């Protein structure tokens, strides 16, 4: 079942890369008493993700923060080493937290997985963006198909 507005985000470990290696973190930890925007991409270094989705959240970072967002995070079913390399390649710095859902456990738990095996990708995440207030989903925009529209930074800004 797909996560819905009003649902609490499941407490499942994701990974962030630190100087000492991968470190587990949950969305609940990141959002306790905070507002976060979490957006998901089917894959690091893929065209729409690298050219539009992630850059949009970098460009709109200040506007999102000015609207009360504490953290902007990107999640993908990629390992933490890939997410770190992609973040460095795109110059995210401290503006976007790069989260790895290496085994797809978080993605599966929220019901937003997709079958990318036709493209050699295996099980991945659908493209979406959500606003999470203190661990609870307050907005969720899932792309209905290929492309970037409802999960863009601009679309999320309109919801804040």
R_g of the chain, CA atoms, integer Å: 14
User: Is residue 78 within 8 Å of residue 102, measured between CB atoms?
Assistant: yes
Q: Is 133 helix (H, G, I), strand (E, B) or coil?
A: strand
Which residue of the set 49, 54, 148, 156 is catalytic?
49
Nearest CA among 62, 47, 35 for reference residue 130 = 35
| Residue 74 bears catalytic tag | no
Q: Tell me the residue length of the chain.
A: 160
Active-site amino acid positions: 49
């Amino acid at each position: 079942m797909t996560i819905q507005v009003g649902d609490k985000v499941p407490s499942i470990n994701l990974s962030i890369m630190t100087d000492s290696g991968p470190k587990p973190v949950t969305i609940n930890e990141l959002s306790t008493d905070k507002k976060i925007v979490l957006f998901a991409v089917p894959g690091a270094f893929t065209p729409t993700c690298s050219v539009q989705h992630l850059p949009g959240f970098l460009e709109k970072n200040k506007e999102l923060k000015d609207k009360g967002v504490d953290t902007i995070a990107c999640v993908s079913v990629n390992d933490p080493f890939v997410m770190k390399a992609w973040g460095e390649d795109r110059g995210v710095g401290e503006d976007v937290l790069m989260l790895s859902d290496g085994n797809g456990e978080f993605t599966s738990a929220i019901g937003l997985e997709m079958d990318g095996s036709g493209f050699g990708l295996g099980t991945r995440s659908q493209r979406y963006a959500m606003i999470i207030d203190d661990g609870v989903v307050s907005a969720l925009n899932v792309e209905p198909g290929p492309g970037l529209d409802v999960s863009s930074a601009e679309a999320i800004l309109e919801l804040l």
